[in-house]
Structure 1
């Protein structure tokens, strides 16, 4: 989520009239019980892929900015970021992250029944990308489809997979992939370009029944009255965000965090790891301060990877698990907000 100024001669759509009205209260869910506790649904494999080109922000990079970008992005907070080349499409990156997740789970492509891709940066008129990813992985006869939800796409993907796994269709294992080329959705030469990166993260989700591990709860809600907060518009498809994005993102992320913890009889102090979608430095700092989170429990790769949109959460889970920081049995909460407006979270034991 970032702001980009329009190119000369173009007039991006402005926020609707209701954007200027006082913000409405955040709608809360009425559910009182955890969605997945006892279902056995959980992550059994994780993988990630970062492009070949590493960009160093300290290497004399200059960018133009305006007052709104300065407010939304703060002091950047990104040292390095990855930028995909022409070969590294959403499909290409997704396949490689998926292969690593399958290897981590000790599975092959033939073990998967469902493939869900979250992506918004390269959305097409058609066809969807997920079926091609499944084919590239050597799968046949599986159900594969795309979801969006902006930066909250991984939360949507995992919740959707859990619904399929616990449904009547006999789906045993799912592969949820988030693959984004965010660097292409910001104005070249803008300050926003310095905080956005490209990547893919993947998770194998299945009913494993492993004692003391797996999904406990999830939540995903929408509020169309806040659709103006952030979006990508014609003719360039570059992201534009409203001045109140920071306050709204913090408010929604902290509200959904407290709601899902409260429903499960937990507090922030019970968490081993808090893994948010990495939006911007002011948003992450605000969430951490509002919730009173200890810095050592705040897991993010924003500083060295940038804002990876829906790929933020799965790449952090993959990296932090691979290097032994997130360990089996750890209690993890992963909240996200996204253009639309979406807000939600996953609560699970690693």
Structure 2
């Protein structure tokens, strides 16, 4: 019987500090009405001084382990999807491994910006399905506030900080539980639509987020829709068989646009964007945790996760909980 990667636990962690639209309006030329109308975002969480991406990742990881009924000794693979690592090196995942007390296997970071968690989930699935690991902790964690230009209202209103995590375990399942299909794509020709204008090799600096918003919106609706359809087609599953859609929480207009394009019932789309903003690689597992803890997503449900990020990168993952 073939091994399957089964999602056994989910968790999340948010910084305590909340930054509302009204507070942002005191710093930049904007208003609560302007932000809500164009993005659906009402607030976002911001990491405190000294609070690192690894701190958020560890918080989410602990919750996911508790949810799965596992502890550090059971984990032999950690993948942290992040664009905002603690340091250039070593990997944030290495710090998470040490902080959580994991002593087995490998730990590394993965960089696909807002699509990072989907790419990390697919990567972990391949390790587990090939028998190269037994249990993986897959984390999306970001402190995007560290790379924001707080004078650019086109970007600073969008992003927040946070982390989400899942535990994946290799099992010989007789049912169809677990990761059923994944679909990943990158098109580097669209690099300039969404990027950070700094880095150790090119500018010897961290840099700030730069984005051509309208162009990213168009690409997001088209490519996210295509990724969702492809993930379902690879699994032989019709879109209307999916119980819950958990998208990257970039902008409520993108969520609504994809739903309209594919004829999806909006009541089946998990949206946390109003409370969290765009937390990049953290947004999908963070939304998954919210919907799992409030009882919407249950064991046996068919869940389709999807995202698009800088690169451009995009992808989808179909999972039976």
Determine which of 316, 327, 347 is the counterpart of 2:287: 316
* C-alpha spacing 1:59/1:230, structure 2 compared with 1 (3 Å): closer
Tell me the equivalent position of 2:19: 55
Q: Write the deviation string for residues 32-65 of structure 1: whole angstroms up to 9, x where unpaired.
A: xxxxx96421210111000011222245734546
Q: TM-score scaled by structure 1?
A: 0.83
Q: Write the deviation string for residues 216-249 of structure 1: whole angstroms up to 9, x where unpaired.
A: 1011111111222211112562111124111111
Tell me the equivalent position of 1:265: 236
Determine which of 46, 49, 62 is the counterpart of 2:10: 46
Does the 8 Å contact 1:50/1:82 carry over to 2?
A: yes
* C-alpha spacing 1:233/1:124, structure 2 compared with 1 (3 Å): farther
Task: State the Cα distance separating 1:198 from its structure 2 match.
Answer: 0.5
- For the pair 1:151 / 2:114, whether they are aligned, the reply is yes
More helix by share: 2
* C-alpha spacing 1:201/1:279, structure 2 compared with 1 (3 Å): same
Determine which of 42, 47, 50 is the counterpart of 1:84: 47
- For the pair 1:167 / 2:130, whether they are aligned, the reply is yes
Structure 2 spans left out of the alignment, 5+ residues = 199-204
Tell me the equivalent position of 1:180: 142
State the distance in 1 between where 2:194 and 2:37 align. Answer: 17
Q: Write the deviation string for residues 69-115 of structure 1: whole angstroms up to 9, x where unpaired.
A: x8x99623111211110232101111111011111111110110011
- For the pair 1:239 / 2:209, whether they are aligned, the reply is yes
- For the pair 1:332 / 2:303, whether they are aligned, the reply is yes
State the distance in 1 between where 2:131 and 2:318 align. Answer: 24
* C-alpha spacing 1:73/1:126, structure 2 compared with 1 (3 Å): farther
- Where 2:249 maps in the other structure, the secondary structure is coil
Aligned residues: 309
Q: Write the deviation string for residues 137-160 of structure 1: whole angstroms up to 9, x where unpaired.
A: 012242100001010100111111
Does the 8 Å contact 1:212/1:349 carry over to 2?
A: yes
Structure 1 spans left out of the alignment, 5+ residues = 1-36
Q: CA RMSD in A?
A: 2.2
Matches within 5 A, 1:4-43: 39-43=3-7
Does the 8 Å contact 2:124/2:138 carry over to 1?
A: yes
